[in-house]
Structure 1
């Protein structure tokens, strides 16, 4: 059994035919999934999907790439959604300095959502790009735990996040031929701190590059990690599955 910790069945590319994609996932052995919000509307949809299907839970949050126009009212909606029993984390939230979204706005929205997680005793799902050191500093000053989603930083930085109580989640890039950093992370991060995800509908793994990514494809991520670590895919599937249950506070 596999646990896909980061799917966007709430995205416009997947939501209308979500039944089909969920069926594909189940056929591939992906029995548990977390649908992740990235703005108010996608967070609402994530909660709706979690209530529709067995084995699916949700996160709610406003991502750094979607936060420029975020208002206090938007944040209040996220905080209210986070009370839903199917919500297992605040996310995806964080810092992304790759795009031209004002950094002060990103930091403000990130900090406020961190406070929600602290208040509700929830983990957080972090989206971080080109801002790992500053993100680390903000997390270091809190007691929050969570997931570094679709991690693209160094293996050494990953070990620093692990010391804070975070899991490292790998997605499609670990299968890409020229993506050296995710492969180093897969090799050097202990399996008991790794998770698998697709971040669909984006970044379909090899051998499906160029197609619409879907939740079932996390099997390819597990296979690549197993190859890089020289262990069985069954070990990767089982350990990452239980890692996901642990961070989300779920029962088997």
Structure 2
């Protein structure tokens, strides 16, 4: 691969990465990954997320509260997100959204916090990173209702939902982010939905340390493995791996407008 990829969603503050930072970065470089976004999931851990982003020019971060944490740390106001988003390393809001699969937090708390994140995105015009699981209708109903009040950019992260959700998200200008799930044998319906997403609305991610792609299933995921997801996406869309790298990287910078493209490391690709 001769074009640098971007891992648009990973969790670099987790111990397996923070304790092996040099190795993680070297493997990413060798796989052709030139930029990473470390995602915030709790306000109480934001300082650690922010600190990881400071360790390299090509790492950015986001600020937000995951729906799992909405019971304890859910937000009723966008103010703290807007304040933290002034940081030059913060390029997005979230991840936030709804998770009715685990229901780790009351649904009303998830919805209230989700709306606070949306309000922060509307104010800052930074993209919203949306987590949705078993909550497609409520997720899109809230997004569409809030979008009608004023536009804001965003992405459905780790897409694992229906084709209907994808199309509804596209209609409000959102992007679709593909993770290692698209490589799973059981994910034909997701691949079919992705096949209908225009190339100019697709980005890639690992969600590492979760969801390692084939052929790394069973291992702890890491940013270097996004190359496997990109290769599968290229196959789905019928283009070369270099072309999918160019397109998804261009799309990343079109969405995450605060990210400085000059910090994208351009490196070779060794097989991972």
TM-score band by shorter chain is over 0.9
Counterpart CA distance in 1 for 2:46 and 2:250 is: 25
1:32 aligns with 2:24: no
Q: Which residue of 1 aligns with 2:100?
A: 97
Unaligned runs of at least 5 residues, structure 2: 262-272
Q: Which residue of 1 aligns with 2:156?
A: 148
- Structure-1-length-normalised TM-score: 0.94
Give the CA deviation at 1:45: 2.0
Counterpart selection for 2:47 from 30, 44, 49 = 44
Q: Which residue of 2 aligns with 1:18?
A: 21
Deviations 1:200-230 (A, max 9, x none): 0011000011111000100000100111222
2:214/2:228 contact within 8 Å kept: yes
The 3 A distance-change label for structure 1 pair 147 and 72 is: closer
1:57 aligns with 2:60: yes
Q: Which residue of 2 aligns with 1:222?
A: 230
Question: Larger deviation: 191-200 or 116-125?
Answer: 116-125
Q: Which residue of 2 aligns with 1:192?
A: 200
Tell me which of the two structures has the higher relative contact order, counting C-alpha pairs closer than 8 angstroms and 6 or more residues apart: 2
Counterpart CA distance in 2 for 1:71 and 1:234 is: 40
Unaligned runs of at least 5 residues, structure 1: none
Counterpart CA distance in 1 for 2:95 and 2:215 is: 27
Q: Which residue of 1 aligns with 2:112?
A: 108
Counterpart selection for 1:244 from 241, 252, 268 = 252
Counterpart CA distance in 2 for 1:132 and 1:225 is: 23
Counterpart CA distance in 2 for 1:31 and 1:167 is: 20
1:118 aligns with 2:126: no
Give SS of 2:71's match. coil
Counterpart CA distance in 1 for 2:27 and 2:67 is: 31
Give the CA deviation at 1:35: 0.8
Question: Larger deviation: 8-17 or 190-199?
Answer: 8-17
Root-mean-square deviation (Å): 1.7
Question: Larger deviation: 202-211 or 48-57?
Answer: 48-57
Give SS of 1:13's match. helix
Counterpart CA distance in 2 for 1:145 and 1:138 is: 14
